Structure 1
């Protein structure tokens, strides 16, 4: 088999895999969650921390683009298995703080365990609902949601809560990926942000999705 034939078969294979993913995973998941939003099951969320995902969306590069700096206090809402959490902790360093709020106690425990193993005592994990954060006003410099707001029953309320716990002039990063069953279009997300009293600073697009940089 020559190279051209091999590439052609590979292309058809990728298209078939994409079609199966759309038909049997993405569309049913979107339909179900449109009726009743719910958090991703803990067992499935654990699978998201894998080498392939790290290759496609390197967490260190992602948190760097957020503008995290040493000493910053950042809030992560919906960390799941902690794919981004430890990268953020490495970025802000021991003079900073990372607070990860996860609704699943099982996943919250997993993230806390990973932080202890890495020797990151400045990572604090809280098992709580994003719609009612058990945190004081004006605590953080920055907050971020990565492929999570679609799982929250009232995303505007979650954004309002984040705005409440940010200091004046604090920033919010929202990242959405197209492969996510709960993907929200940029126009939808911007409308939610405006309703929560947040203002757009910058929008970045990529072949996988988009990033919104907002401020209070």
Structure 2
């Protein structure tokens, strides 16, 4: 139940059992006024010796205001970080360009090292020239002789660039043929220099030992540009 001080109008909330069925004399803790408080719906019965003092309930705490969320301040842009990022992207693009250029201009070398690459180049519209394109063999000779008391087969010759652009000189495949043009032995020779300009000449010379006598029956020597097969 709620009771109100008749003098200062201070209100109190208390249970019905605190007043009792007969009522009770109470004192206002705010102003000290005393009065007889009867239970609700009942007539007051005065008992002068019984005084109950009630204290007002403390007022509820004021509602807390929600503090505005602080937005973290933006860190100032670091010009050095942006510069480093631009430099990094520049290096990345340059690497991609270099890889692409190496794949384009080094097609012949790539195919020589890995022949299936020719199909990949043709698929993307970059056909690969056969090994030795623009080059021509000349003054090729072979001779069986003895050097330092041992039989050897000497093969030498020249490679001329008959095209209008610089050409890479691929290795040469030398095949010694016997009777009925049957291969007796095959090996590769590296000419020098590895690249020649239009009109320039590269030379090669190879001395193949014949300790087992396998080259004694050589009737012909076939030299081709090696395609890696």
Q: TM-score, normalised by structure 2?
A: 0.21
Q: Indicate the structure (1 or 2) with the bigger Cα radius of gyration.
A: 2
Q: TM-score, normalised by structure 1?
A: 0.22
Larger relative strand fraction: 2
